[in-house]
Structure 1
Amino acid sequence: MADAAGRLTKLAEEVLGAPLPVRIRAWDRSESGPPGAPTLVIRHRRALRRLLFKPGELGLARAWVAGDLDIDGDLYEALDRLAGLIWDRSDAPKPPRAALVRALARPEFRAAAREMLALAGAPVPPTPPAEELRRRRGPLHTLRRDKEAISHHYDVGNDFYALVLGPSMVYSCAYWESPQATLEDAQRDKLDLICRKLGLRKGQRLLDVGCGWGSMVLHAAREYDVRAVGITLSEEQAGFARKRIAEAGLADRIEIRVQDYREIHDEPFDAISSIGMAEHVGRTQYAEYADALYSLLKPGGRLLNHQIARRPVADEEAYHVDEFIDRYVFPDGELAPVGRTVGQLEEAGFEVRDVEAIREHYALTLRSWVDNLERHWDEAARLTSPGRARVWRLYMAASALSFERNRIGVNQVLAVRTPEPGDSGTPLRTREWCAGTHRG
């Protein structure tokens, strides 16, 4: 196929009715498109076959994971230019598709693509292995299925996550004093901010739901002298956290369990932190989640719920998770608007005392993780697989742009199980806990 890039550019521009926003370099080394723009590298013609058989995000994701597609140039600029064609969303009642994605499914385009691929003699491409969660058993958000979904995302290897996250081993939005701060300082400041919002004091009992690699419980026990229980569904996370706790000499004050929040039947806690965990709960289970956390708190106890939020849409029942994220990153995960989260916490009995939006902080965090991954690329690919490393790079870079463009946000919601006659125990000036940072 002579001048494949030129033919593809012409075809794309006919479909879009506008110039292609990126340059194309095809497998035959031909190039076409705006000079100086980031280049979409189509390494193999089977990338087109993937798009033909799975139009939209999933076909693109499979081509990216397999290494059939790549970006030459600034990844963020390329994704930003392509966002309107791939990830753009609207308030349409059906799952929307931007112009190029809709066109890929039209019969006339499919016929043209089949003809081109037949000339190229490309076979039907296999689904990239391992990186895609193939087996989904039973209804959503059962104990078993949630554990499988968490394992898919988090049991990738602690060494891999250590390369991406850095020494803090915190996999949630950091809290930045300035863009020039270090990731490690910003993560420590986030953990300390949560401790101060929870009003932790010596001897109190903290539950950390979705404790990850144990960073929150370690900080709370070390800096605030509390006793802590951390729960996770990931065996790898639990083993890593227990080792860190033992090395810190805090095994007598911190317990790590592989346990679902629905299985906790302990005596009530003084405080609960849930940091980046509620996104896994699912809309059908969120009321149960809120009820469970309310029941686990003592009267006067505080909950800090740190959660990614999406923008509201006109038809909430038509909301769907992006195929790329659902298949490759967070199986069965769901985002909710912050208003719904606040409402459901209130319906469970909580008094919501404070909501802090920190979406710009997550963009900075994600860019730092991408930098870490790119600096350690060969080792990261060796520790997992090249495909899995490519998934994380694309996911984190695209997510950074989504936070920067206000497509999604992240919020810390402080809620209290306020006792009778109504003293919440929170300070009159709540923003005082945001002034300065605790250095221990």
Structure 2
Amino acid sequence: MSKAQGAAALLADALGIVLGTEQIPLRLRAWDGSEDGPAEAPVIEFRSRRALRRMLWSPGMLGLSRAYVAGDIDAPGDLYASFTALSAVGKFAELEPFSPLTLRERARLLRTAVRLGAIGRNPTPPPEEITIDRVGRKHSKKRDAVAISHHYDFGNDFYALVLGPSMVYSCAVWDSPETGLDAAQKAKLDLVCRKLGLEQGMRVLDVGCGWGSFALHAAERYGADVVGVTLSSEQAERARKRVAEAGLTEQVDIRVQDYRDVDDGPFDAISSIGMSEHVGRDQIAAYSSHLHGLLRPGGRLLNHAISWNAGDTMRPDPDSFIPKYVFPDGEMLSLTVMVGALESAKFEVLDVEALRQHYALTLRAWVQNLEDHWDEAVGLTSEGRARVWRLYMATSALGFESGLTGVNQVLVQRPGGTQPPLRRVDWL
């Protein structure tokens, strides 16, 4: 059997059935050494028959994701080129959940699996997968705590490898691609402080405070007194350690607390950086109203959030990669929905800044950090977890580069108190 007649050609047919296309812009390499597809195309490698078995039992994004996380499929060359080619065809290009296969398509896929000797039991999902729909009502406090713990509570040292010294897990602000990740993150933190108009002695609430980077910056550089809240016990532990090392325990209070339970306002300003994606469309009005009630009259809120640019809300298919492996119950809202919720809560919009290209640069820097420290990252967690992050961050970077997703800083103010500046000069 020649390589052209090996498993790769049949795999191309199988992948085409799953994706709903006859044109596979990839070169497929199979476990038997055979290859199929354009010679210069990016390579996708099927390392075992188990990859096809996963596609047979879950013929859609979930099966492919499981195969990648488990190491049954790999992209050994240019990761971005492979993912770009794959996302541009068939059902991936439709931006909708994968439609079920027809009976005829299932029969074709089954015949291919038989020919390749891939018939067998449904492989166990990788251990990094989470099932959260049995925990309780979506976006209840209990379920949100489980979702946040899944994403954040698996090792601060892993995050330190990926995020770098700044320990900031949100879009940086770059003067140019040569700026450097840590400098770009410091620029973002300072931009938020200036937009909020922080001054000595102001009381600030940081919703979703992460590892305390914004709280530390606001306290050190602007003399603010900061309350940071997170649902991640591991984040809080590292944040408190950083606060103590900086000698700022009198100025910074880090709590493991749901933002809905914060009741000790008023605050002079509120930052919410990369947190409202966890809130969900059904709760975004209540979120906006609660934060409004925690601000003094004239106080500002800076909401920094990823946006879905292809509709009003991105509600992921619960059986797809992101909710199963990355952000359980996460939802990306459009800018229209986000601003509408804030305005409905009686906030006045002062400024909106789009940072889409900045997030693409940030994500590529994180991917590079992960690749540079791959063996250490795997040792700190698991190869599956590292592969989850590689897939999630690389595909997200492509989403920002294409304009499918965006990220926006929306600055609003509770009416009353001091008037906002006539122009943006205070924070530019």
TM-score grouping bracket, smaller chain normalisation: over 0.9
Structure-1 separation of matches of 2:361 and 2:288? 29
Contact 1:205 1:227 survives alignment (8 Å): yes
Query: Cα distance 1:75–1:412, how it changes in 2: closer, same or farther (>3 A)?
Result: same
Normalising to structure 2: TM-score of the pair? 0.94
Structure-2 separation of matches of 1:424 and 1:350? 14
Structure-2 separation of matches of 1:219 and 1:410? 22
> Residues 121-155 of structure 1: CA distance to partner in whole angstroms, max 9, x if unpaired?
54224233331112431110001000000000001
Structure-2 separation of matches of 1:220 and 1:96? 41
Amino acid paired to 1:127: T
Q: Give the SS at the match of 2:28.
A: strand
Task: State whether structure 2 residue 401 is matched by structure 1 residue 404.
Answer: yes
Counterpart position of 2:65: 61
Deviation at 1:318, TM superposition (A): 9.0
Counterpart position of 2:218: 220
Task: State whether structure 2 residue 112 is matched by structure 1 residue 108.
Answer: no
Deviation at 1:431, TM superposition (A): 4.9
Amino acid paired to 1:163: L
Deviation at 1:329, TM superposition (A): 0.2
Q: Tell me whether 375-384 or 319-328 shows the greater mean CA deviation.
A: 319-328
Q: Give the SS at the match of 1:371.
A: helix
Structure-1 separation of matches of 2:174 and 2:317? 29
Deviation at 1:191, TM superposition (A): 0.1
Structure-1 separation of matches of 2:260 and 2:20? 49
Which residue of 171, 181, 184 maps to 2:182?
184
Alpha-carbon RMSD? 1.9
Q: Give the SS at the match of 2:422.
A: coil
Counterpart position of 1:330: 327
Counterpart position of 2:34: 30
Structure-1 separation of matches of 2:125 and 2:378? 15
Deviation at 1:39, TM superposition (A): 0.6
Q: Give the SS at the match of 1:355.
A: strand
Amino acid paired to 2:35: E
Counterpart position of 1:437: none
Counterpart position of 1:438: none
Contact 2:200 2:222 survives alignment (8 Å): yes
**Unaligned runs of at least 5 residues, structure 2:** none
> Residues 83-104 of structure 1: CA distance to partner in whole angstroms, max 9, x if unpaired?
12353235xxxx454xxxx5x7
> Residues 296-334 of structure 1: CA distance to partner in whole angstroms, max 9, x if unpaired?
000000000000000243xx6895457210110000000
Structure-2 separation of matches of 1:300 and 1:319? 34
Which residue of 41, 44, 49 maps to 1:45?
49
Task: State whether structure 2 residue 162 is matched by structure 1 residue 164.
Answer: yes
Counterpart position of 2:391: 394
Task: State whether structure 2 residue 10 is matched by structure 1 residue 7.
Answer: yes
Amino acid paired to 1:141: H
Query: Cα distance 1:321–1:216, how it changes in 2: closer, same or farther (>3 A)?
Result: farther
Structure-2 separation of matches of 1:88 and 1:8? 20
Structure-1 separation of matches of 2:101 and 2:331? 26
Q: Give the SS at the match of 1:212.
A: coil
**Unaligned runs of at least 5 residues, structure 1:** 435-440
Normalising to structure 1: TM-score of the pair? 0.91
Structure-1 separation of matches of 2:206 and 2:194? 15
Counterpart position of 2:269: 271
Structure-1 separation of matches of 2:92 and 2:268? 42
Structure-2 separation of matches of 1:390 and 1:47? 15
> Residues 282-305 of structure 1: CA distance to partner in whole angstroms, max 9, x if unpaired?
111111100110000000000000
* Alignment of structure 1 residues 410-421 onto 2, 5 Å: 410-419=407-416
> Residues 57-79 of structure 1: CA distance to partner in whole angstroms, max 9, x if unpaired?
11111111110000021111111
Q: Give the SS at the match of 1:133.
A: coil
Query: Cα distance 1:221–1:12, how it changes in 2: closer, same or farther (>3 A)?
Result: closer
Query: Cα distance 1:354–1:208, how it changes in 2: closer, same or farther (>3 A)?
Result: same
For these two proteins, the number of residue pairs brought into alignment is 420
Structure-2 separation of matches of 1:159 and 1:203? 33
Contact 1:321 1:333 survives alignment (8 Å): no
Counterpart position of 1:87: 92
Deviation at 1:31, TM superposition (A): 0.6
Structure-2 separation of matches of 1:249 and 1:189? 23
Amino acid paired to 2:92: W
Q: Give the SS at the match of 1:168.
A: coil
Structure-2 separation of matches of 1:127 and 1:141? 28
Structure-2 separation of matches of 1:318 and 1:356? 21
Counterpart position of 1:194: 192
Q: Give the SS at the match of 1:306.
A: strand
